[in-house]
Structure 1
Amino acid sequence: MENQLLAQQIMTLIGGSKNVSQSWHCITRLRFNLFDDTKVNMKEINQLNGVIGSQFSGGQYQIIIGAKVAEVFQEMDKQFTNSNNEKTTNNKKNMNVLDTIFDVISGIFTPLMPAIIGSGLIKGLMALFVVFGWLSSESSSYVVLTVFSDGVFYFLPFLVAMTAARKFKTKESLAVALAAMLMYPTLVNGAADGASPLSMFGLSIPLNNYSSTVLPIILGVLLLSIVNKWMDKIVPETVNIVFSPMLSLLITAPILLAFVAPLGNFLGKYLEQIFTTLFTVAGPLAGLLMGGLMPLIVLTGMHYAFFPGTFASLQKFGYDIMLLPMNLVANSAQAGAVLGVTLKSKKAETKSLAFSTFIPAIFGITEPAIYGVTLRLKKPFYASLIGGGVGGTIFGFFAVKATAFSIPGITALPTYIMKNSNNFMYALIGYIASFVISFVLTMLWGFEEDKKDETKDKKITTLKSDPQATTQPIDIFSPVKGCLIPLDDVSDETFSSGMMGKGVAIKPLGDTIYAPFDGEITMTTPTNHAIGLRSAKGVEVLIHVGIDTVNLQGKYFERFVSEGERINKGQPLLRYNLKEIIGLSYDETTMVIVTNSAEFLDIIITGEENVEATTSRLMMCIQ
C-alpha cells in the first residue's frame, strides 16, 4: 500500500499518465519521457516520503527512489491504460542531439541490467573459486558455469533488439528476427574461417561475428522502425499483417548486413580504441579525471554513453579499463564519505539516513548516498570526489581491468582477478584508498547540518519518546461519525487482508475527518484522500477516505493541515463532499489503520456499531 500510494502521488505530480510517453526504471531511479516537462511539480515530488530526489537529465525526468524502485514502478505500471499506451506512440517532444543519444542508450540498456549484472557476477565468482582452489578451470563444472556467465553476452544482440524495439516503438518480433540474422552461423563461422564476403543482387555482405556487439543491432532496429512505419502506411490494412512484416525484413535486412551492421561494428571498435588509447597514453591523468568526476557523470546520465565502448572492449579484449573500474573507485569513495557522516554527525536522523545509504553504497548503489547525504551536506561530496580521483589515479597507473560487467561494488572485486597478474591486488589498493581518503577527509572537514533538519529532529524525538514505563493501553478515537464495519468486509484486499496493519473501517455519515489523538501529521497526499498521523505515544495511523478515490485527483477534498504539523485531538484534518463522492459511484468506506501494529502486543477493537467523531473509542493499542 505504501508503494501504491507513492506511485499515485508521483503519477499525479508528473502530470498524470497522459503526460508520459515512456517509462522504465534502473536500479534506483524511475525514468520518464514526458510530453510536457512544465507539468512536473518537482518541488512536491522531492518532498514525498520515499523519494530521495529528482532531476531532468538527458531528455528524461528521473526520480531517485532507492531499493524499492522496482516495487514502486510496478504500482505505477498498473496505472497506465491501453488507450494511453497507444496515444503515447507519437511523442514529438524536441531534444538536442546529445540528450537524444543519452536517452536512447539508457532506455535500451537499463532494462537489460539484471541479466548483464547477474551473468557478470557469476563470472567473478568463477574466478574467485579458481583462485581458492574450489574449482578447476579444466573441469566440466567450469565449462557449464562459463555457459551461464557468457551466454547473455554472446547473444546480447537478441536482448538489445528487444529493448531497442521498445525504445524505437517498432515490432519486437521483427527486431529479434534481425538479431537472429546477425547471429546466423553462416556469418559467425565464415568470419572465424576468414571466408570471402557473400553477395546478393550486387550487394557485398561481409562476414563478421556480431556476438556480444550492440551498435549493429541498435542501428538495425532504428532502420527497421523507419521502414516498418512506412510499410504500415502504404500496405492496405486487409493484407498488412502478411506483407508489411515481409517487406520490412526484405528491405531492412540487406541494408543491415551490407552497410549498417559493418558500420556499427566499426564504430564500436573505434570507441573501444579511443578509450584504450586514452588510458594507455595518459592512464593516471585519465583515471584522476574519470574517477573524480564519475559521480557527476552518473548524476547527468552521461555514463550510458560509455556502454557501447565497454561492451566492445569486453568483446575484443575480455576486459574494460574505464567505465567499470572508474565506477568502482567512485562508489567506494561514496561509501567512505557516508560512513564518515554516520560517525561524525551529531543528529540521530542524519546518522540513521547516512548508515542506511552506506550498505547500498558498499554494494555499488550510490544514488541514495549522493542525493540523500553527500550532495546535500556538500563537504562529504567534495571528499568523495577527491577519494575517487585518487583511486582512479591508482587504477590508471596500473591499468586495472574489469573482466566482466557487474554492479561496481564490493561484489565486483572478483571480476578483477586475472591469471598471472597482480590486477586484483592493484584493484584492491585503489578500492581501499578511495574509501579511506574519502572517509578521512569527511571526518577532518566535517559538515553543517541545516537548522530545518534540526527542528524536525527535535519534533520527532519529542513525539516518539514518551518513555513511560506503563502498560496502560493507548486509545484511538473515531475520526468521523459513522457506522463501524469489520476490516475484513472492505472490498479492497490491501486493507481487508491486514497487509497495511490492524484497524477498522467506517461507513461515514459526516463530511469531516478529525484528529483521533494528540500528535503530528506524518504524511499527506496531493489528492487529499488519505493522511498519516503519529500519536504522542508512538501510534502510527493511516486514515484513508474511500476506495479508489485517488482517481478524483483531489476533487471534493480539502485538507487543513500539512506534514510535520502538530495536531490536537478533535482538530479538523480533512473535509470532503460525501454526497458527490457517493454520486459518482465511489465506495465511501473510510479505513483507520494502525500501520505499526507489529510494535504492540495487540490491537483491540472497542468501538460500537455507531460511532461519533472524537468521542467514540475505536481501538486500544496494548503495549
Structure 2
Amino acid sequence: MTHKELAEQIVANIGGTENINQNWHCITRLRFNVKDRDKIKIDDIKQLDGVMGAQFQSGQFQIIIGSEVGNVYQEVAKLTEGKLSETEAPTKKSGNVLDQVFDVISGIFTPILAAITGSGLLKGLMAIAVVCNVLTETSSTYIVLNAIADATFYFLPFLVAFSAANKFKTNPSLGVALAGVLMYPTFIANAAAGEIASLKFLGLSIPMQNYSSTVIPIILAVLLLSYVEKIAKKIVPNSLSIIFVPLICLLVTAPIMLAFIAPLGSLIGTYLEMFFTKLFEIAGPLAGALMGGLMPLIVITGMHYAFFPGTFASIEKFGYDIMLLPLNLVANLAQAGATLGVIFKTKDKKMKQIAISAFIPSVFGITEPAIYGVTMKLKKPFYASMIGGAVGGAIFGTFAVKSFSFAVPGILAVPTYIESGTNNLIYAIIGVLSSFVVGFVMTLLFKFDTGEATSENKISEVNKTNNEAPSKIMAPLSGTVKQLKDCPDETFASELVGKGLGIIPSEGQVVAPFSGIVTMTTPTNHAIGILSDTGVEVLIHVGLETVSLNGEGFKRHIEEGSRVNLGDVLIDFDIKTIQEKNLSLFSPVVITNSPEFLDIVVAVKENEVIEKSKEEVLIVVN
C-alpha cells in the first residue's frame, strides 16, 4: 500500500474529513481530534498495512505509523486541507479534565517540536566543538551558530502562539501579534534595566517582565483570544468584521494579557519549576527511579506533555532540565537495550526482523516501533526496559544530572549534558549505559516466548501440507446466512479484507470451522483468525463495531498459536449485550488470503439457517 492509499484508507475509516477537527503528527504517530469517535472504525484501521496500532489517548485518536509517519501525514494533509470540520460535538468529549489538558499541550507542542529539537541538537554539537577546542565562545562563527540555535528558544512565544491559535481555532496572525506584544523590546529593556517596575494603562498596572522562552503566558493569552474573537464575530456585522474584529481582539486581549494573564502564567511556570526541583532535592534517587521506570507508560498515555511547561520554565530560568529530558533519555536507551536483547534471544525470524528495524530508531530516541512492535508485544522485555530505566533514573536522580537543551532523548542528545567544570556529562553517560545494559541483560534473563513454538513457525509447517484439493470451510456460527456485499461495513462489503459471507448469529458461540492454528486474537475478543491445515486463513468477526464493547460480553477460550480441531469452541459471546448497545450482529466470515486461491465459492444460500460445525459454508478452490 502506498502512502497515498494508506492515507485515504485512514481518513475514510476515521469517518471522512467531516469528522476531523484537527490533525497533526509527532515522530511516529498521526494524531487527530475528531467530532464523533463512534464513527471511527478502529479495528479496520489497526488491520491496515503500514499501521502498527491505533488508540484513543489524552482526548486524541492516535495511529502509530513509525518512521514513515511524515510521508503518510503529507498525504493526509492533502486530503484534509480546507475540509476539516469547524464544529465539535460536546457530548462526545471526554469528561476527564486531565485528558483534555494533555490533548491541548500535545496539540500545541507536537507541531513545533522539529524547530525545538533541531535547535537543541545544534546547541549540543556546539558544546562538543567548544570542549574539543574546535570553536571558542568568543569567535564570530560561534556567535552566528549560537544565534541560529538560540533563536527558537528566545522567540519561543511566537512558535507557541501560532501553534496554540491553530489548536484553539482562532486567528494565527492575531496569536503571533500577541506574542510580539509580550516580546516588545521596550518591555524587555525595562525588565532588564530594573528601573521601571510597571507601566500604567487605563488604570491597569503592567508589570515589566521578560517573557522570552516562556510558554504558559502566551498559551493562556491565545486561549483568551479564542473566546474574545468568537464574541467579537457575534456582535460585529459580517461586512465590517475584517476591520473591527481584529481591532477588538487586540484592544481587549493584549491589555488583559499584559496585566493579568502573562504574570500569572509566569508565576505558574515558576512554581512548576520549583516543584520539580524540590522533588529531586528531597528524594532524588527515588524520584529518578520512579520516573525513569514509569516513563514508557507515561509516554504511551501522552502524560509526558504535562511536563513540557515545567521543562521550558526550568530551562528558561536555570538553563537546564532535571526531569523530563534526562529521565526520558535513560528510559529510551533502556528500551533500546531490551530490543537488542530480543534480537539476540528470539528465534522467531519475523520478530527478529522487526526488532532489528526498531532497534536503530530507539537508540536515537524514537521508541514507539520498539514498544508497540517488540517489547510490549512480548511483555517481559517491556518489564526489562522499565527496570533499566529505573536504574538509570536512580543514577540521574542521585547526581542531579542536567540537560542543557531540548533535544530528542536519544544518543545524539548526550552532548546537551556537557557542562564545563563538572562531571555532569560523565554521570549522564554512566546512567545511559547502565539503563541500556540492564535493559539488555534483564531481557536475556527473563523467560518469554522466543519463537521455538510460535504460531509463525507452525504456520510455515501448515503451509507445507497445502495440497491441490478444494478446502471446505464449515460454519463457525449458528444463524442466518447473508451475502458479504450486504455488510453495513464497506471494508467487508467491498471484499477489501477478503471473500466470504456474513452470518446473523442465533447462538452466542464461535467454533473452529476446520482443524488448524489460531493465528490472531484481539484484546477485546470480538474477532479471531485461524489457519487451516490446507493453508486457508479465515477471519471470524463477531458483529460490527463490537470492538467498542472493550470485551464486555465476550469470552475467549484459546490463545494465539493454539492448535484447534473442527468444532472446538473459540469464543462465547452475549447476543443481548451487542443488541443493547445498538450494534450490528452481522458477522463476517472471510478468507483473508483469497488472492492465493483460484476461487472462493459460497456453498449456502442467502437467508438459509445453518448450524455451527455441521454446515459447509465456503469452498476454497486451489
Alpha carbons 1:9, 1:526 under 8 Å: kept: no
CA distance in structure 2 between the partners assigned to 1:462 and 1:180 by the alignment: 72
CA distance in structure 2 between the partners assigned to 1:37 and 1:333 by the alignment: 35
Query: How much does 1:35 deviate?
Result: 1.8
CA distance in structure 2 between the partners assigned to 1:460 and 1:28 by the alignment: 34
- SS of the counterpart of 1:199? strand
Spell out, residue by residue over 1:472-499, the C-alpha distance to the aligned partner (whole angstroms, 9 max, x if none).
Answer: xxxxxxxxxxxxxxxxxxxxxxxxxxxx
CA gap of 1:101–1:531, structure 2 versus 1, over 3 A, is: closer
- SS of the counterpart of 2:221? helix
CA distance in structure 2 between the partners assigned to 1:422 and 1:151 by the alignment: 28
Counterpart in the other structure of 2:338: 337
Counterpart in the other structure of 1:394: 395
What amino acid sits opposite 1:256 in the alignment?
M
Alpha carbons 1:354, 1:373 under 8 Å: kept: yes
What amino acid sits opposite 2:230 in the alignment?
K
Q: Does the alignment pair 1:94 with 2:97?
A: no
Q: Does the alignment pair 1:176 with 2:176?
A: yes
CA gap of 1:461–1:276, structure 2 versus 1, over 3 A, is: farther
CA distance in structure 2 between the partners assigned to 1:60 and 1:278 by the alignment: 30
Counterpart in the other structure of 1:536: none
CA distance in structure 2 between the partners assigned to 1:30 and 1:335 by the alignment: 23
Q: Percent identity among equivalent residues?
A: 58
What pairs with 1:263-342 in structure 2 (closer than 5 Å)? 263-342=264-343
Counterpart in the other structure of 1:420: 421
CA distance in structure 2 between the partners assigned to 1:15 and 1:455 by the alignment: 38
Spell out, residue by residue over 1:548-570, the C-alpha distance to the aligned partner (whole angstroms, 9 max, x if none).
Answer: xxxxxxxxxxx9964345723x4
What amino acid sits opposite 1:63 in the alignment?
I
CA gap of 1:154–1:81, structure 2 versus 1, over 3 A, is: closer
Larger mean CA deviation between 299-308 and 449-458 belongs to 449-458
Q: Does the alignment pair 1:452 with 2:455?
A: yes
CA distance in structure 1 between the partners assigned to 2:154 and 2:111 by the alignment: 18
CA distance in structure 2 between the partners assigned to 1:67 and 1:459 by the alignment: 33
What pairs with 1:76-91 in structure 2 (closer than 5 Å)? 76-80=76-80, 82=82, 84-85=83-84, 87-91=85-89
CA gap of 1:422–1:251, structure 2 versus 1, over 3 A, is: same
Counterpart in the other structure of 2:596: 567
Query: How much does 1:248 deviate?
Result: 1.0
CA distance in structure 2 between the partners assigned to 1:456 and 1:88 by the alignment: 48
CA gap of 1:183–1:456, structure 2 versus 1, over 3 A, is: farther
What amino acid sits opposite 1:160 in the alignment?
V
What amino acid sits opposite 1:370 in the alignment?
I
Query: How much does 1:34 deviate?
Result: 1.5
Counterpart in the other structure of 1:62: 62
- SS of the counterpart of 1:79? helix
Which ranges of structure 2 fall in alignment gaps of 5 or more residues? 467-489, 499-587, 603-622
- SS of the counterpart of 1:33? strand
What pairs with 1:71-150 in structure 2 (closer than 5 Å)? 71-80=71-80, 82=82, 84-85=83-84, 87-92=85-90, 93-95=92-94, 96-150=96-150
- SS of the counterpart of 2:63? strand
What pairs with 1:199-210 in structure 2 (closer than 5 Å)? 199-210=200-211
Alpha carbons 1:21, 1:91 under 8 Å: kept: no
- SS of the counterpart of 2:79? coil
Q: Does the alignment pair 1:33 with 2:33?
A: yes
- SS of the counterpart of 1:446? coil
CA distance in structure 2 between the partners assigned to 1:318 and 1:456 by the alignment: 56
What amino acid sits opposite 1:122 in the alignment?
L
Query: How much does 1:33 deviate?
Result: 1.1
Give TM-score scaled by structure 1 length: 0.75
Which ranges of structure 1 fall in alignment gaps of 5 or more residues? 464-523, 533-558, 575-623
Alpha carbons 1:166, 1:172 under 8 Å: kept: yes
Alpha carbons 1:205, 1:258 under 8 Å: kept: yes
Query: How much does 1:451 deviate?
Result: 3.5
Spell out, residue by residue over 1:495-543, the C-alpha distance to the aligned partner (whole angstroms, 9 max, x if none).
Answer: xxxxxxxxxxxxxxxxxxxxxxxxxxxxx966748799xxxxxxxxxxx
CA distance in structure 2 between the partners assigned to 1:462 and 1:292 by the alignment: 47
CA distance in structure 1 between the partners assigned to 2:221 and 2:130 by the alignment: 40
CA gap of 1:460–1:78, structure 2 versus 1, over 3 A, is: farther
TM-align CA RMSD: 2.4
CA distance in structure 2 between the partners assigned to 1:72 and 1:159 by the alignment: 24
Q: How many residues align?
A: 487
Counterpart in the other structure of 1:584: none
Alpha carbons 1:54, 1:63 under 8 Å: kept: yes
CA distance in structure 2 between the partners assigned to 1:404 and 1:527 by the alignment: 52
Give TM-score scaled by structure 2 length: 0.75
CA gap of 1:220–1:64, structure 2 versus 1, over 3 A, is: same
CA distance in structure 1 between the partners assigned to 2:117 and 2:418 by the alignment: 17
Counterpart in the other structure of 1:500: none
Query: How much does 1:89 deviate?
Result: 3.7
Alpha carbons 2:161, 2:179 under 8 Å: kept: yes
- SS of the counterpart of 1:21? strand
Query: How much does 1:196 deviate?
Result: 2.3
- SS of the counterpart of 1:400? coil
CA gap of 1:140–1:285, structure 2 versus 1, over 3 A, is: same
CA distance in structure 1 between the partners assigned to 2:455 and 2:331 by the alignment: 30
What pairs with 1:434-513 in structure 2 (closer than 5 Å)? 434-448=435-449, 449=451, 451-456=454-459
CA distance in structure 1 between the partners assigned to 2:170 and 2:454 by the alignment: 52
Larger mean CA deviation between 64-73 and 13-22 belongs to 13-22
Query: How much does 1:338 deviate?
Result: 0.6
CA distance in structure 2 between the partners assigned to 1:229 and 1:397 by the alignment: 50
Counterpart in the other structure of 2:352: 351
Alpha carbons 1:344, 1:446 under 8 Å: kept: no
Spell out, residue by residue over 1:178-222, the C-alpha distance to the aligned partner (whole angstroms, 9 max, x if none).
Answer: 000000011111111112200001100000000000000000000
Counterpart in the other structure of 1:545: none
CA distance in structure 2 between the partners assigned to 1:573 and 1:296 by the alignment: 47
